[in-house]
Structure 1
Amino acid sequence: MMAIWDFVKDAGKSVFGKAEAAEAKAPAAAPAQAPAAAKPAQDPETTRKVAALKAELKALNLDKDDVHLTLRGGDTVKIESKGADRETLEKLVLAVGNIEGIAKVEADLPSDDKAPVFHTVKKGETLSEIAKAYLGSASKYNAIFEANRPMLSDPDRIYPGQTLRIPQA
């Protein structure tokens, strides 16, 4: 079943940059290699944004061969992957959703009757406080940190509006 998650559109990592800067640096487009019966061509801005999203997934080592991204309406991303397990799909949702300019992410998680638990960081919150609220002990902050790798590189570097994956026992 396809699920949709909301994210804070104006918070997150900036990966899109300015369209004008990207166009100035981009080499001339090569002729399309897809057959005429393929999907309709995306506008250049959508193509640029999808490429930036894929580059971010590659930087996080989440860019498996079967991951397909579709950008709709400029701020909604649909993630499709046949081979990813539930944990990887949840990380893909967060990696894409925590990018500035993305408001919604759609994905089809394997059905095991357990909805993922996500938490949107509020101003002043720490991983320890979040761990106490969800896992019963502040000392379990590292479990949340590990569940959000590689998107998090330091447990002290979270920001308001960021969405985190909460591991379930």
Structure 2
Amino acid sequence: MGLFDFIKNAGKKLGIGDDDAPDVEAVKKELDSHKIGTDKVDVAVEGDKVVLKGVVEDQSAFEKAVIAVGNTLGISKVEASELKVGNAATATSAPAKDPVLYTVKKGDNLWKIAETQYGAGKGAKNTVIFEANKPMLTHPDKIYPGQVLRIPELDKA
């Protein structure tokens, strides 16, 4: 996999003006503002698609990079097939695993999403979803329809 779909008219607006798609500099600045380890990531904007290339440290950084740029107003797709997980210094990188993503619907909250994704009676695991989406999420109640969240695997313990 490597192409992720987002809702073009939902998300954070970057810059000023009425342009639908943000420019490369604005997207890179937004990505870097989250401080998730994307300093070795190159960004390209092709219409309403963002292309990410380079290396991130781990699967979490990969997934956060995808949703950080995908949850931007004017972006409908994120291509990340050339975004690798590993160590750029030693050139040991590998393709990332396919993440589990969830698009927020009207009426959703993190408790409902946790029950949907993890099973009945697991709503209390909503904190796992919140933590997995920091720093893009700043408060558990501040989610919106169309926003895409990463859903991490639960620890087997």
Q: Same fold (TM over 0.5)?
A: yes
Equivalent residues of 1:120, 1:160 under 8 A apart: yes
Q: Are the equivalent residues in 1 in contact too, given 2:7–2:76 (CA < 8 A)?
A: yes
Q: 1:82 Cα shift?
A: 2.1
Q: Is the 8 A contact 1:54 1:63 kept in 2?
A: no
2:16 corresponds to: 17
Q: Distance in 1 between the 2:29 and 2:148 partners?
A: 20
Q: Secondary structure at the match of 1:70?
A: strand
Which of 9, 31, 38 matches 1:57?
31
- Structure 1 stretches (4+) deviating beyond 3 angstroms? 109-112
- Runs (5+) with no aligned partner, structure 2: 85-93
Larger Rg: 1
Paired positions, count? 141
What is aligned with 2:90? none
What fraction of aligned residue pairs are identical, expressed as a percent? 45
Out of 49, 54, 63, the position equivalent to 1:76 is 49
Structure 1 equivalent of residue 91 of structure 2: none
Q: What TM-score comes out, normalization by structure 2 length?
A: 0.81
TM-score (norm 1): 0.76
Partner residue of 1:147? 132
- SS of corresponding position for 1:82: strand
- Counterpart code for 1:106: E
Q: C-alpha separation between the residues in 1 aligned to 2:18 and 2:130? A: 33
Alpha carbons of 1:19 and 1:84: their partners in 2 closer, same or farther (altered >3 Å)? farther
Deviation at 1:63, TM superposition (A): 5.8
Structure 1 residue 84, shift from structure 2 partner: 3.0
Question: CA contact under 8 A between 1:57 and 1:63: conserved in structure 2?
Answer: no
Corresponding residue number in structure 1 for 2:117: 134
Task: Decide which structure has greater helix share.
Answer: 1
Structure 1 gaps, min length 5: 21-45
